[in-house]
Structure 1
Amino acid sequence: MQNKLHTLSLSALPKSFYEQSTLQLAQNLLGCLLVKESDDGITSGFIVETEAYLGPKDRAAHSFNNRRTKRTEIMYASPGHIYTYLMHTHCLVNVVCAPIDTPNAILIRAIEPFTGKELMKQRRGLQDIKKTTNGPGKLTKAMNITMEDYGKTYYSSSLYIAEGFNPTEISVGKRIGIQNSGEAVDYPYRFWVTGNAFVSR
């Protein structure tokens, strides 16, 4: 992969990038570079796994049936906003997508570390780089993505998404950890870079 990166632009992708259909964006995010600038350093990694959540008609979505709470309010904003939420002790990060008042979001499930690897390992208390970011709660801790990022945008904040690489093959399957979601359990809304070692499962 390294020889493909000499032309990378580390500037944030424009707002227009997020104005795609949810399922298309969930796939086009694969290979993009997720970057977080923090006081103790910059970390980045290539997005290698995503899950799409299609709002009001998707029983697995936080906004199912147009549920609108303090937590989900940002899902009703314009595409490209950052939706972070807490699950148990973990912070998870999502990309808000679809037109305003259409509360769709894409969960970033895993990244392949690119820069700031030592800082990531330090934050996670691990030496095995393959275990630092192969899950949605792991990658946020490794990159210092927190609830303070909630409501900001990926095109104008210290957490942003930049150009990356084009995956040669993308796999599609069921989402993970949504057992109590009725028929939504079987929706093929999870996407990952085929064969990548940092995919969560």
Structure 2
Amino acid sequence: MNKYKPVGNAFFEQPTLTLARNLLGCLLVKEMDEGAASGFIVETEAYRGPLDKAAHSFNNRRTKRTEVMFREAGHVYTYLMHTHCLVNVVSGAVDTPEVVLIRAVEPYDGLDLMFERRGEKTMKNLTSGPGKLTKALGINMNDYGRRFDEPPIYIAPGFAPDNISSGPRIGIPNSGEAKNYPWRFWVTGNMYVSR
């Protein structure tokens, strides 16, 4: 199936805030038996681990859920929030549990599959949020612990955004001063950005 060439693992070995910016424009691909679906990453959020009150690994919290965050950069960290599966790129060095949340993608390949999975009628709402994009692409908890540099879920080169904006992360009201860190990044003016 492999229509695209995944980025090498060295791509993920960047400082977390740098990776969060450099993921913008990359193609997120998920291959399944019924076909592949993909989208260009247009919004991310960085979570800086032990010192970041908004991170699942704040204070080096190590649980069954967060265990993959302590592994090498480039691993897939999926978790459930309410009924939605969210997908993150593990970004820190071993035992430095940092991640980048993929918040939105611009649909590219597999549109029929995406519309069917989402039951959505409009392009604008298809993948404009972290739970929407995982459902549309078929990303689920079975992807936990995989690697982003090999199928069935991987990141491939895409485009270089003309402009990138940044601001506070979303939906983390009880995280003290961390709620104000400007660690959300998005492709300026892209219609698929979550808000």
Settle same-fold status: TM greater than 0.5: yes
1:112-146 CA distance string (max 9 Å, x none): 00001111011000121111100000000001100
Q: Which residue of the other structure, out of 158, 162, 166, is the alignment partner of 2:160?
A: 166
Q: Which residue of the other structure, out of 100, 118, 129, is the alignment partner of 1:124?
A: 118
Is 2:117 aligned against 1:108?
A: no
Q: Which residue of the other structure, out of 184, 187, 191, is the alignment partner of 1:190?
A: 184
State the distance in 2 between where 1:127 and 1:188 align: 33
Structure 1's consecutive aligned runs of 4 or more residues displaced over 2 angstroms after TM superposition are: none
The residue matched to 2:120 in structure 1 has which SS? coil
Q: Which residue of 1 aligns with 2:146?
A: 152
1:1-201 equivalences in 2 (<5 Å): 10-201=4-195
State the distance in 2 between where 1:31 and 1:98 align: 21
How far residue 51 of structure 1 moved from its aligned partner, in angstroms, is 0.1
State the distance in 1 between where 2:25 and 2:150 align: 20
The residue matched to 1:196 in structure 2 has which SS? coil
State the distance in 2 between where 1:131 and 1:69 align: 33
How far residue 100 of structure 1 moved from its aligned partner, in angstroms, is 0.3
State the distance in 2 between where 1:135 and 1:70 align: 26
How far residue 40 of structure 1 moved from its aligned partner, in angstroms, is 1.0
8 Å CA contact 1:97, 1:106 repeated in 2: yes
8 Å CA contact 1:173, 1:189 repeated in 2: yes
Deviates more, 1:54-63 or 1:156-165: 156-165
State the distance in 2 between where 1:175 and 1:40 align: 34
State the distance in 2 between where 1:156 and 1:100 align: 19
Q: For structure 1, which runs of at least 5 residues remain unmatched after alignment?
A: 1-8
TM-score, normalised to structure 1, is 0.95
1:6-53 CA distance string (max 9 Å, x none): xxx821000000000000000000000000001111100000000000
TM-score, normalised to structure 2, is 0.98
Residue identity over aligned pairs, in percent, reads: 64
Q: In structure 2, give the amino acid aligned to 1:42.
A: A
**Pairwise CA RMSD:** 0.8
Q: For structure 2, which runs of at least 5 residues remain unmatched after alignment?
A: none
State the distance in 2 between where 1:45 and 1:143 align: 8
State the distance in 2 between where 1:195 and 1:173 align: 14
Task: Give aligned pairs, total.
Answer: 193
